[in-house]
Amino acid sequence: MPDRHVVLSATGLYTPPFSISNDELVDSFNQYVRRYNAENAESIASGSLKALSESSADFIDKASGIHSRFVLEKDGILNPDIMRPQFVKRSDDELSLHAEIGIAAANQALAKAGLHGSDIDMVLVANSNMQRPYPSISVEIQAALGAGGFAFDMSVACSSATFGLQTAADAIKSGSATRVLIVNAEMCSAQLNYRERDSHFIFGDAATAIVLERNDLAAAGLGFNVLSTQLWTQFSNNIRSNFGFLNRCEIGNDPLSADKLFIQQGRKVFKEVCPAVSEHITHHLSAQNISPQNIKRFWLHQANRAMNELISRRVLGRDATEEEAPLILDRYANTSSAGSIIALHLHQADLQNGDLGVLCSFGAGYSIGSAILEKR
Ligand SMILES: CC(C)(COP(=O)(O)OP(=O)(O)OC[C@H]1O[C@@H](n2cnc3c(N)ncnc32)[C@H](O)[C@@H]1OP(=O)(O)O)[C@@H](O)C(=O)NCCC(=O)NCCS
């Protein structure tokens, strides 16, 4: 019997105010490259330094499907002297930026669910990165919304949304929570190396929120039954960030060196993760006696267009249509844990009662998580 105890009643989305096109990003990157090559001309000529290669908007479009990305701050990223977002430092008494964008998404989800913050008894912030280790961003959001119960932060990189979803669903099933707010608030621009040609185009910023409720508490006809969830991890160094609290203590380690930002072996990730994700989804559906052909929608993690096309093709045995496996990465790029939830948020209104969908996120770890959802 499928598990019908938990309802995903509403979603919310915060989209940052600024968008950067591939052309703008490449123009800034290429200014940096030309300056670097000119300043190091002698060393490059003598062979002691390698010249940097320029980036191309055409390559980015073809290799990833990304046309633009939303960011919280644009000028610093595009300034070839800075090449990172710049935020005004807030005092400890002000709401943190991370909590602010999470709350913007959370308020939308709560309003759609017909709830107030005080109805929530568990807040989970599940992201790739946290603005600080403590106090938890989730506890800050819990206080700002007037939620009760308890709150904690967790991180499973790009898979944080589905890992959060299973954690929240388990809490509801066990009775330790009745209504959970999950926030995926991703400030990916702050962990991206805008001076690295292989990855400078990959990420964008966004925050999403979902409300999970015990089914007897959820308003009739709202959202989805969470039929089943499944998680998987297997260690890999192919997506990595060495940023951490030991950086300043490690002898010989430069706390500002590039390995403290996002680094990946993109081609290896592509080759290894696609089969793992399609097998994961196929096994999850088969364990629930559901044929992939009965799935109306796949809300997949949004990292790369070809990856999503390959995964859905392997699961379905044919190409998925745009309606079946919608893409949002053309406008949002990879927003880490928020990506599959943005797809869910923007592509659910047409579903009918009883329609089935698969939410699936995947990424560093490696990690893969999926949830089978049934429209109520
Ligand atoms: C990152 C990714 C888009 C790169 O695409 P790719 O087709 O694998 O590209 P490669 O890195 O193999 O590079 C192919 C060529 O393009 C070049 N290239 C790389 N970046 C470039 C850029 N910005 N502009 C122009 N050319 C570029 C490379 O130098 C290489 O040239 P070569 O063939 O002469 O050696 C792709 O590998 C990917 O999306 N992987 C999965 C990433 C992912 O999902 N990560 C998970 C994060 S959650």
158 is catalytic: yes
Residue owning the nearest CA to atom 42 of ligand 1: 266
Q: Which amino acid is at 141?
A: I
Is the pTM value of this prediction over 0.85?
yes
Q: What is the pLDDT tens value at each position of the chain, 376 positions in all?
A: 334 599 999 999 999 999 999 999 999 999 999 999 999 999 999 999 999 999 999 999 999 999 999 999 999 999 999 999 999 999 999 999 999 999 999 999 999 999 999 999 999 999 999 999 999 999 999 999 999 999 999 999 999 999 999 999 999 999 999 999 999 999 999 999 999 999 999 999 999 999 999 999 999 999 999 999 999 999 999 999 999 999 999 999 988 899 999 999 999 999 999 999 999 999 999 999 999 999 999 999 999 999 999 999 999 999 999 999 999 999 999 999 999 999 999 999 999 999 999 999 999 999 999 999 999 9
Distance between CA 360 and CA 72 in Å, rounded?
26
Between the CA of 341 and the centroid of ligand 1 the distance, in Å, is: 25
Q: Does the CB atom of residue 274 touch ligand 1 within 6 A?
A: no
- Buried b / exposed e over 254-267, threshold 16 CB at 10 Å, is eeeeeebbbbbebe
Between the CA of 244 and the centroid of ligand 1 the distance, in Å, is: 27
Which of 62, 196, 304, 308 maximizes ligand 1 atoms within 8 Å of its Cβ, making it the mutation to test the pocket? 304
Exactly one of 158, 188, 274, 360 is catalytic; which is it?
Answer: 158
Between the CA of 199 and the centroid of ligand 1 the distance, in Å, is: 8
Residue owning the nearest CA to atom 2 of ligand 1: 266
* CATH number for the domain whose boundaries are 224-375: 3.40.47.10
Q: Which token pair is 171?
A: 């809490």
Distance between CA 367 and CA 230 in Å, rounded?
11
Q: What are the extents of the domains in the chain?
A: 224-375
Cα angle for residues 180, 186, 189 (degrees, 5° grid): 175
Q: Does the CB atom of residue 129 touch ligand 1 within 6 A?
A: no
Q: Does the CB atom of residue 263 touch ligand 1 within 6 A?
A: no
Q: Does the CB atom of residue 56 touch ligand 1 within 6 A?
A: yes
